[in-house]
Structure 1
Amino acid sequence: MSTSGLRVLIIGGYGAFGSRLARLLAGDPRFHLLVGGRSAEKAETFAAGLEGGAKGVVFDRDGDVRAQLALLRPAVVADLSGPFQDMGEDRYRVARAAIALGIDYIDVSDSRDFVSGIDALDDEAKARGVFVLSGLSSFPALSFAAAEKLAIEFAEVHKVSSGIAPSPRAAIGLNVIRAIASYAGKPVKVTRGGIPAESTGLAGGPGMVIAPPGCVPLRWRRFLLADTPDLSLLPQRFRHLQEAFTGAGAEPRWLQSLLMFAARLVRYRLLPSLAPFAPLIHAASRSLASGEARGGMFVRLEGLGHDRQALAATWHLVAEGDDGPFIPAMGAAGLLRALTDGKRPGSGARAAIAELPLGAFEDGFRPLAIRTGIRRQRAGDRRLSLYQRVLGDEAWGMLPPAVAAMHALNDGELRVCGQARVERGSGLLAGLVAAIIGFPRAADDIPVSVTFKAEHGRETWTRNFDGRRFRSRQSEASGRHAHLLAEDFGPVRVFIALVPEGERLRLLIRGWRIFGLPLPLFLAPDGNTFEEQRDGRFHFHVEIGGRLTGLIVRYTGWLEPDQPAMPSSSTSSASRN
């Protein structure tokens, strides 16, 4: 084990977030890690398994903190234990002991009172020449970094909303549940109409689809009000702020609904608190987990752009698999790495909302399955093509030229022609579906044309396979299917994610309905469908099938413009007038 490098004590080092900070820093010779916790056995076992080695040590925050720190002699204390909402009267005892010994201190608290009150230690910290930074977590450090990135585009910010959507498969720690239970159903101070107001912890908030451009969106989630430091700090940052919201959107939905109901019992004093039920909620969240192994986060600003027009911009994040729980430790890891590079924060005690730019967080995301991006809503967005609106600016810019050109029409008509090969499924049900929709018959090499007609933000596609026509209508989905493409084939509507992958645009089914009735996704028509640029020409590969039908149809081929795009008659008339 290396004994050189920056000596960092991670309190809660084998816990949910401390273990992830240790993993993020393990193997880096710039650090000498001390994995601290109450159990010597657990600390030593976890430390022994880290790349590059670390040392497991006993640290009890309820003991003589100053004596323990003096014995361990860290250069930086990183407190990742929690819950910070329940630290008692002497909640800053670790930070005060660190200051007294001249040790720098950071934590990942998302407790509103804890983070907002840390500046009470400012004079002490400055006198000792150390920094004390609280809140290096998703809230408020990452949320503020994203808000600052978005704020550059605004002259006035009127509303800020943000939320975390944890993966239902993530092993959420008991301390996180305890933190949530501490304010469930209790009064929460918010900003409403530009003035202080009051709401209720875990009260229902907005619904949201988290969808970084070019990424398969998360499923729609309802966000419940969370009492985070942002609610105190945002009004200090944005002087035109009218409303602020921070929330959490849990899966499965029945568990969230149950939490909401229990919070109402607390609100109406039918229960004193949910805190005693935290272990039960924690056990249920683990044993009854269901849904996609994906999580996410969003930060949304609304207000006026520099042109004084209405503007909304949202930063989206999606984390796949087990990578999401690393995010609360990313701020601490980023700051410690910057410290070893000679970028030392100024002395004093404060909320950690201006210590790391968004780029520093996103640099840490790159080795993991975490995607981020920004979507904007502006006056005049209807002038953009349908696919450009669904994809967003960033993902639209990823498309190869031939694919982008096929979807650039925002009004009028375009006809393209080419050659195709068609395969049909052999099943009886597959043949029946194909006949109803009008899919072409099997053929090896036939002429094909597609006429696109764009008007009022929608597109009608008329496909002609050697004289056999079928039609569909495409539009931008909204509500629970926001950021998806909706395509109608008669009574069937499918919701499609548009995902650029290199030279391809992949189309993935994310939901479907028949006669407006939602149906299970596992029964949806599906298949390997994509568009690509090959040798400078647009090529398509469309495959439609299902569990019940097998293959229905597969058609592949190429297309190129037969005539330039023609504006619609209404547009032509308007231009003549």
Structure 2
Amino acid sequence: MSGPALRILIIGGYGTFGGRLAQLLCGYERFCLLIGGRSLAKAAAFASSLGGKAGKEPTEFDRNGDVYKQLSALAPNLTIDASGPFQTMGRDASCIPRACISLGIDYADLADSREFVRGIAALDAEARAAGVFVLSGLSSFPALSRAALDRLAQDFSRIDHVSSGIAPSPHAVIGLNVIRAISSYAGKPVRILRDGISATGLGLIAWHRVTVAPPGCIPLKSKSFRLVEAPDLDLLSHGVDGLSSAFTGAATEPQSLQRLLAATAQLVRLKLLPSLLPFAPLMHQASKLLAFGEHRGGMFVRASGLDRAGQPLEASWHLVAEGDDGPFIPVTGLEALLRKLADGNRPADGARSAAGELPLEAFEACFERFAICTGTRHVRPGAVGGALYRRLLGSAWERLPPAIAAAHDAQEGGHRLSGHARVERGTGFLASIVAAAVGFPKVQDDVAVRVCFAAKGETESWIRNFGGAEFRSVQLEGRGRDAHLLAEDFGPFRILMALAPDGARLRFVVRGWRFFGIPLPLVLAPGGDIYEEEREGRFHFHVEVGGPLTGLIVRYAGWLEKEGG
């Protein structure tokens, strides 16, 4: 793009998502950002806080006013509606895109309303005639989710089931408009696809349980995703012939709050309340007061059917965002669109959903600046066997250093490694009892070590011999709530760990533990700095086990190589 800067009006420009979009765009000198909102003072304060090369102009914009007059005065090249909630706009919902079309202004939005996004196609003929594009839903749902499904679909000859979901961090600031959107359909019938025919589910009541786990990343805790009225329910199935079912959900943290919302939604289902919409401000305050838990969020898209060879296949795309980076995800599609515009690549004229408008690669390019991990997993139902760590790591297996991969590439019958280690032990009373009960080795500066890996079916038996003293464990893949975690059994105790490649290391991060199957508090779980690494082509290990009640129990570190190697 050459010539004058592209004038971009962001309605809701200092809000939850509009403000983040402005932060992403302020580094582009070819843009002039019009920060729009009902309060000129707030728009001015936010605009002054932005750095970067882009021009910034605070402006008062009221979507309930004369939008045609306001747009005529501002004369943007592109209007982005990041305000909402689109679910409660009523009959005047399309007034802004209609005004943009009549004035020859391109338009895009972050709409997550199923009805709004579906209805935008009614403006297609007008937009084509005016020579402008109108793209609705250029957000996590449906633009990013559809891009992920398109990536997964490359491995299928037929897709039978599709589901998607989003799980925001409990510490992410959820705007009141988002809460209003959710409360508008809570407990009410939501049209879904079930058994190949149109059916109904109940908003925030119907649910699926999913563990969001990109390969090589620490998974989110297993969550129940409650049915939401989202564009995905229409657009993920669009163009997928013979689809049997589709589901889209959201997971709120803490999950206790989500269960409370689901119980309240039952009052709407029973017609004891007409709607939860009047309670949206109270729900908004509750979400802020109960903001505890890990500051991480995520998203998934899952498909199942037949692969290109006609065999059963389940494939899923996962995303995990750390800290405050999650709320940037819904606006990365808009950044990707504007990158294209800046390079002179315009979307085709016409009004339509943004689903399928951008490939997954365009989103991934925007994710690079953030602590965002993505990846795909493939599961073949009924298939058994294969190295345990290879199954757990999926595509991240390829990132392992050769020495670590060779150590864990255990086949049926197993193999043996031997080497030397140094062992330290805790001196506390409880630490000594636990160490003796498990059979951890005693203190030794240099002791011969042999480790035997015996693979059988989907489990691996580990026999560790330190100078003649043995202790054993069984490792297997977690199931259900523990999906995608490595489970290691020491007698009645089960330790659950995430496998996380980190450069030349493979880290083991404790994510839970059980005693005779009963979950125990994670804060009391035994753990420490546990990793394997490759140094000068040799496999090295470092295991530290301790806890807040016991202090250090044992720490041993050393090296191993194949016997005779």
TM-score by length of structure 2 reads 0.98
* Distance across 1 between alignment mates of 2:230 and 2:204: 12
Which amino acid in 1 is paired with 2:109?
D
**2:314·2:381 contact (CA, 8 Å) conserved in 1?**
no
Give the 3-state SS of the residue equivalent to 2:237 in structure 1: helix
- Residue 234 of structure 1 deviates from its aligned partner by 3.0
**Per-residue CA distance 1:274-317 (angstroms, 9 max, x = gap):** 00000100010011211100000000011000010000111000
- Superposition map of 1:232-251 within 5 A: 232-251=234-253
2:322 is equivalent to residue 320 of structure 1: yes
The equivalent of 1:15 in structure 2 is: 15
- Residue 356 of structure 1 deviates from its aligned partner by 0.7
**1:415·1:563 contact (CA, 8 Å) conserved in 2?**
no
* Distance across 1 between alignment mates of 2:448 and 2:233: 61
**Per-residue CA distance 1:426-462 (angstroms, 9 max, x = gap):** 1111111111111111111111100110001100000
Greater shift in the superposed pair: 230-239 or 89-98 = 230-239
* Distance across 2 between alignment mates of 1:179 and 1:55: 29
The equivalent of 1:436 in structure 2 is: 437
* Distance across 1 between alignment mates of 2:158 and 2:429: 61
The equivalent of 1:295 in structure 2 is: 297
* Distance across 2 between alignment mates of 1:468 and 1:198: 61
- Residue 380 of structure 1 deviates from its aligned partner by 6.9
Q: 1:359 aligns with which of 355, 358, 361?
A: 361
**1:204·1:222 contact (CA, 8 Å) conserved in 2?**
no
Greater shift in the superposed pair: 124-133 or 192-201 = 192-201
* Distance across 1 between alignment mates of 2:473 and 2:409: 18
- Paired residues in the alignment total 561
- Residue 55 of structure 1 deviates from its aligned partner by 1.0
The equivalent of 1:90 in structure 2 is: 92
**Per-residue CA distance 1:401-446 (angstroms, 9 max, x = gap):** 0000011013112111101111111111111111111111111111
The equivalent of 2:34 in structure 1 is: 34
* Distance across 2 between alignment mates of 1:329 and 1:87: 21
* Distance across 2 between alignment mates of 1:501 and 1:84: 42
Greater shift in the superposed pair: 10-19 or 554-563 = 554-563
* Distance across 2 between alignment mates of 1:499 and 1:220: 17
2:472 is equivalent to residue 475 of structure 1: no
The equivalent of 2:24 in structure 1 is: 24
Give the 3-state SS of the residue equivalent to 1:237 in structure 2: coil
The equivalent of 1:416 in structure 2 is: 417
- Superposition map of 1:543-554 within 5 A: 543-554=544-555
Give the 3-state SS of the residue equivalent to 1:323 in structure 2: helix
Q: For the aligned residues, what is the CA RMSD?
A: 1.1
**1:410·1:457 contact (CA, 8 Å) conserved in 2?**
no
The equivalent of 1:100 in structure 2 is: 102
Q: 1:73 aligns with which of 72, 75, 78?
A: 75
The equivalent of 1:171 in structure 2 is: 173
2:528 is equivalent to residue 527 of structure 1: yes
The equivalent of 2:454 in structure 1 is: 453
**Per-residue CA distance 1:53-109 (angstroms, 9 max, x = gap):** 511100111111111111001000000000001112121100000000100000010
**Per-residue CA distance 1:310-339 (angstroms, 9 max, x = gap):** 001110000111111111111111101111
**1:298·1:316 contact (CA, 8 Å) conserved in 2?**
yes
- Superposition map of 1:119-138 within 5 A: 119-138=121-140
Q: 1:111 aligns with which of 110, 113, 138?
A: 113
* Distance across 2 between alignment mates of 1:413 and 1:105: 60
Which amino acid in 1 is paired with 2:493?
V
- Residue 374 of structure 1 deviates from its aligned partner by 0.4
**Per-residue CA distance 1:474-512 (angstroms, 9 max, x = gap):** 000011110000001111110010000001000011000
Which amino acid in 2 is paired with 1:39?
S
* Distance across 1 between alignment mates of 2:181 and 2:415: 57
Which amino acid in 1 is paired with 2:193?
T
The equivalent of 1:283 in structure 2 is: 285
The equivalent of 1:497 in structure 2 is: 498
**Per-residue CA distance 1:145-174 (angstroms, 9 max, x = gap):** 000010010000100000000100000000
* Distance across 1 between alignment mates of 2:439 and 2:152: 47
The equivalent of 1:149 in structure 2 is: 151
* Distance across 2 between alignment mates of 1:282 and 1:384: 47
**1:418·1:558 contact (CA, 8 Å) conserved in 2?**
yes
* Distance across 2 between alignment mates of 1:545 and 1:236: 52
- Superposition map of 1:207-222 within 5 A: 207-222=209-224
* Distance across 2 between alignment mates of 1:472 and 1:236: 48
* Distance across 2 between alignment mates of 1:49 and 1:486: 48
* Distance across 1 between alignment mates of 2:367 and 2:236: 25
TM-score by length of structure 1 reads 0.96
**2:162·2:237 contact (CA, 8 Å) conserved in 1?**
no
**Per-residue CA distance 1:356-406 (angstroms, 9 max, x = gap):** 1011111111101111000110257523200011111x2100100000001
Which amino acid in 1 is paired with 2:461?
T
Displaced runs of 4+ in structure 1, greater than 4 A?
Answer: none
2:558 is equivalent to residue 557 of structure 1: yes
The equivalent of 1:570 in structure 2 is: none
* Distance across 1 between alignment mates of 2:134 and 2:39: 26
* Distance across 2 between alignment mates of 1:482 and 1:410: 22
Structure 2 unaligned segments of length 5 or more: list them.
Answer: none
Which amino acid in 1 is paired with 2:46?
F
Greater shift in the superposed pair: 80-89 or 409-418 = 409-418
Which amino acid in 1 is paired with 2:14?
Y
* Distance across 2 between alignment mates of 1:362 and 1:156: 26
- Residue 204 of structure 1 deviates from its aligned partner by 2.8
Q: 1:162 aligns with which of 161, 164, 168?
A: 164
- Residue 266 of structure 1 deviates from its aligned partner by 0.4
Which amino acid in 2 is paired with 1:560?
E
* Distance across 1 between alignment mates of 2:397 and 2:366: 25
* Distance across 2 between alignment mates of 1:104 and 1:269: 43
* Distance across 2 between alignment mates of 1:455 and 1:495: 20
**1:226·1:247 contact (CA, 8 Å) conserved in 2?**
yes
* Distance across 2 between alignment mates of 1:151 and 1:267: 36
- Residue 176 of structure 1 deviates from its aligned partner by 0.5
The equivalent of 1:377 in structure 2 is: 379
Which amino acid in 1 is paired with 2:91?
E
